[in-house]
Amino acid sequence: MATTKPRLSSFSRNLSAVSSSQTPGVKCGPNGTMFVSSGIADLDRSLVMVMEDAEAPHHMLLLRNFMSQGLVHGQPLLYASPSKDPRGFLGTLPSPASLKHDKSRDRESEQEKGLRIAWQYKKYMGENQPNFDSHRDNKQDYCNEFDLRKPLERHYFTRQRVNCVGIQDSKNLAALQEHCASFLAQHQRNDGSCALAGRIAIQSLCAPQCEHSNMDWEMLSFIKSLKGMVRSSNAVVVITFPPSLLSLSSTKRWQHMADTLLSVAAIPDEDKELAKLLSGYQDMVGLLNVHKVARLNTQVPFILEATTFSIKLQKRRFLVLECLNQAPVDGSSGSSYGTSGSCSGSSKAGTLDF
């Protein structure tokens, strides 16, 4: 997920690139773009909008990992929710996976990788194989793997300021906009440097229990204003919303306002036809569709070779995104519907780096 930097002259030397790369949880991207992790190694790029599915709350998996990743990196967090007790949601955030689980998963991936290498070739590699330990450590500094069964320890909540806002009883979005403006004002980017990235997570913006849910133009105005404030700050925003509660025209406008647009969908239980088409169907809990990817400070579009990914819970603990694979037919090994974008994670099938 990306935050922007002020554009410099083509002949100006960017002196902040070196220092900003040392900021915890932040890495340098192309065209002066700074990246923070979503908390899912397979899904990392900034106004991100996620269209919810009424059949399953898979958007909450994405939101929890996004919030946990920020807290682990010591990044300030603003969380807005239509629930009566927004702070109670913090108790459901997942904890980073222990080193023991990380090593076991690394061993499994290395074993699978070894099976792909012919023993004749592996014999000649011998002890000259490159050591990727340092690369793996750097990746963990940017994006952690989270154990969905283990709650986040409380000391992460007290290490930095966490602001929780309830929007259920608000008659309009003025109070939420004021909270966001105050939060982003503390993370302004004036000198082109990236000191510390802030995170804003807004759950179900147009939820029916909110009084502003029928104020289409006011909600659109809020998103437009928020997007403008984010452009000049070291912060990223993730908004989830149920499109089924909006008119078709409003949904299209919201989608246009998003820098990155995702949608989640539930998988029907025991769909025999779908099970025949997709391999690993029994391990899937949902689908993730990528409709638009942020491309900041450039006019070159970013085109993914795959736009639909399966959501899986590896060992019922770790959230993993994988490209959809066609089930084998007549003894064939099967083929992927698409390969993934540039690699930044550790899943077996490939990853996205937004």
- pLDDT at position 299 is 74
List beta partners, residue 235.
198
Looking at per-residue pLDDT, the higher value among 121 and 321 belongs to: 321
Q: State the pTM of this model.
A: 0.74
Cα–Cα distance, 205 to 212 (Å, whole number):
9
With H, G, I as helix, E, B as strand and everything else as coil, classify residue 252.
helix
| Residue 234, pLDDT above cutoff 60 | yes
- pLDDT at position 263 is 94
Axis crossing angle, helix 248-257 with helix 216-231, rounded to the nearest 10: 0
Q: Could you tell me the sign of the dihedral formed by the alpha carbons of 153, 155, 159, 161, in that order? A: positive
Vertex 342: Cα angle to 299 and 34 (nearest 5): 60
Looking at every residue in the chain, the average pLDDT score rounds to: 75
The overall longest dimension of the chain from CA atoms, in Å, is 70
Number of Cβ within 10 Å of residue 250's Cβ equals: 17
Task: Name the burial class of residue 253, with classes exposed (0-12), middle (13-18) and buried (19+) by CB atoms within 10 angstroms of its CB.
Answer: middle
- What type of residue is 323? C
Vertex 179: Cα angle to 176 and 183 (nearest 5): 140
Among 22-26, 29-33, 81-85, 302-306, the range with the most confident prediction by mean pLDDT is: 81-85
Given pLDDT bands bounded at 50, 70 and 90, which one contains residue 127? very low
Query: Alpha helices, DSSP H only, in 171-312?
Result: 174-185, 216-231, 248-257, 272-277
Given pLDDT bands bounded at 50, 70 and 90, which one contains residue 142? confident
